[in-house]
Amino acid sequence: MSTLPVQQTSPTFVGMPSFPEAAREALANTQQRDNLRNATHTIRAKRAAVVAEVPEWESLRVAGADAKDEALTHLGDYLEQLEASLTANGATVHWARDADEANAIVVEIARAKGVDEVVKVKSMATQEIELNEALEAAGIAAWETDLAELIVQLFGDRPSHILVPAIHRNRTEIRDVFLREMAKVGRPAPEDLTDEPARLAEAARLHLREKFLRARVAVSGANFAVADTGTLVVVESEGNGRMCLTLPETLISVVGIEKVLPTWDDLAPMLQLLPRSSTGERMNPYTTMWSGVHDGDGPQEVHVVLLDNGRSHVLADTVGRQALRCIRCSACLNVCPVYERTGGHAYGSVYPGPIGAVLNPQLRGTASEVDQSLPYASSLCGACFDACPVRINIPELLVELRGTVAEQGGHRAESAAMKAAAWVLSDPRRLAVAQRGATTAGRLVGDRTVRRVPGLGAWTDARDVPTPPKETFRQWWARERGES
């Protein structure tokens, strides 16, 4: 079995530069910026239209957030209930504290089955733990079957969007990679392949079908895990997920512990919120639900790996825990003006965009340069909070995390400047003294335009500086009204 020459760069993005540095590089990639602007604006408009047609959208958001909060506040209880229901349904439940434990469990099951390949349903959790790399190291090929994930895999790329991982590639690039790479790993693309979407999809379908029919083990994640019925749910558009979930005899699902929902009824708001927020569809084409093993129907061996990997740490933070409500719809990415311009790679993680700027430092801690810079990768414009179907107040969480980073004392000069500013601003007399600096500058500059100020390059490289006035408002008031 040939293995893909995938992932020249590990998706842990070890040694990633800080966000501003990575962003600068991304901004210079005009082709990517074009692709991203078109894609995000299209999906933004679609989402806005289908959300606007639901008059009770706001109460659905509240119901979704409430269901998640209920699960998170009693997480231990619901996880135990989930384990019990899954086990009663004939599934085997495994617990994994971190990525290594989860990967070891999956590798061991695949080995026990004697396979050298698995087919995969698109899953964020398995990307987070780098399962493909772990399987590859064990001599097992992992075939991504989601069309966009397949494209990313053929490119040897990293995903740059939660829902549309190949959003940074256009059709012509995709045709070229199909022609170049498919033959190396299975059924080749037809030689006369064009960049028409229908032809591209057909080539992928034929390439993948061969793998679906052959594979004996499938690996998936889950969008939801219902505690009371022991049901896992995968929501998708293409049907490739359903192939993986039903054809192979063994199914292994890696599920973050925050995916649990208390009851079957909680799916009602979720299945309305998710497709409208993510693909801008009223309903997604395929929703697959499975509750354990059923004789002669679907996989006969069902494993569920419940993954912590930093989540219980996030749960312990009473403000930050709302991030665990996230249902990975990617609405926040699509409305984000920063993401729209930098793309996903600058975030140095499989979780990009506004939620990535929150979740990565929460899950990984704030030791690395990129994780320290992520909470600042936002203008706090609030578009993400408005779009989030489970009402995660992302700007609030970013500000919280900025506090965490600042408390580490990472930026000494900044911290000194902020303390000095606080000292000046906490007393009107000190403020008045400081303002004299500005008005003196204002008198010196007069009516000229300020183009360069030493030390202010970050501002003045592309922006003129406002000319300071000759008199502050405070001085004017004292002069005119003489009351202060």
Binding site for another protein (CB under 8 A): 19-20, 23-24, 27, 337-338, 341-342, 375-383, 385-386, 396, 399, 402-407, 414-415, 418-419, 421-422, 425-428, 431, 435, 438, 449, 451, 458-459, 461-466, 468-469, 471-474, 476-478, 481, 483-484
> Between residues 291 and 467, which has the closer beta carbon with respect to another protein?
467
Binding ligand SF4 (rule: CB under 6 A), the pick from 51, 72, 124, 327 is 327
What are the Cα distances from residue 209, in Å, to 133, 141, 256, 269, 328? 23, 16, 29, 33, 27
Residue whose pair of structure tokens reads 């599934």 in the numeric block: 91
Q: How far is the CB of 146 from ligand SF4 (least distance, A)?
A: 17
Q: Does 330 bind ligand SF4 (CB under 6 A)?
A: yes
Q: What span, in angstroms and rounded, lies between the C-alpha atoms of 237 and 147?
A: 10
Per CB under 6 A, 355 contacts ligand SF4: yes
Could you say whether residue 387 binds ligand SF4 (CB under 6 A)?
A: yes
Of 331, 204, 306, nearest in space to 256 by CA: 306
Residue with smaller CB distance to ligand SF4, 302 or 326? 326
Kindly state the smallest distance separating residue 121's Cβ from ligand SF4, in Å.
Answer: 18
Alpha-carbon distances of 117 from 90, 167, 230, 246, 378, rounded to whole Å: 24, 27, 28, 17, 41
Q: Which does 2 bind (CB under 5 to 8 A by kind): another protein, ligand SF4, none?
A: none
Among 331, 357, 383, 405, binds ligand SF4 (CB under 6 A): 331
Calculate ∠ Cα 450-452-458, nearest 5°. 120
Q: Name 277's Cβ contacts closer than 8 Å, sequence gap at least 6.
A: 47, 51, 327, 329, 330, 331, 387, 388, 389
Residues 314 and 362: their CA atoms lie apart, in Å, by: 6
- Given another protein, ligand SF4, none, residue 435, with its beta carbon under 5 to 8 Å by kind, binds another protein
- Taking the C-alpha atoms of residue 173 and residue 346, their distance in angstroms, rounded to an integer, is 21
Kindly tell me which of 183 and 433 has the beta carbon lying closer to another protein: 433
Nearest distance from residue 464's CB to ligand SF4, in Å?
36
Per-residue mark of binding to ligand SF4, 263-302 (x: CB under 6 A): --------------x-------------------------
Q: Which does 378 bind (CB under 5 to 8 A by kind): another protein, ligand SF4, none?
A: another protein
Work out what residue 458 binds among another protein, ligand SF4, none; the CB cut-off runs from 5 to 8 Å by kind: another protein
Stated as kind and residue range, the H or E segment containing 262 is none
167 binds ligand SF4 (CB under 6 A): no
Tokens of 443: 């008198």
CA 50, 53, 57 angle in degrees (round to 5)?
90
Of 388-407, binders to ligand SF4 (CB under 6 A) are: 388-390, 392
User: Dihedral (C-alpha) 280, 283, 286, 291: value to the nearest 10 degrees?
Assistant: 120
Q: Interface with ligand SF4 by CB under 6 A: which residues?
A: 277, 326-332, 355, 387-390, 392
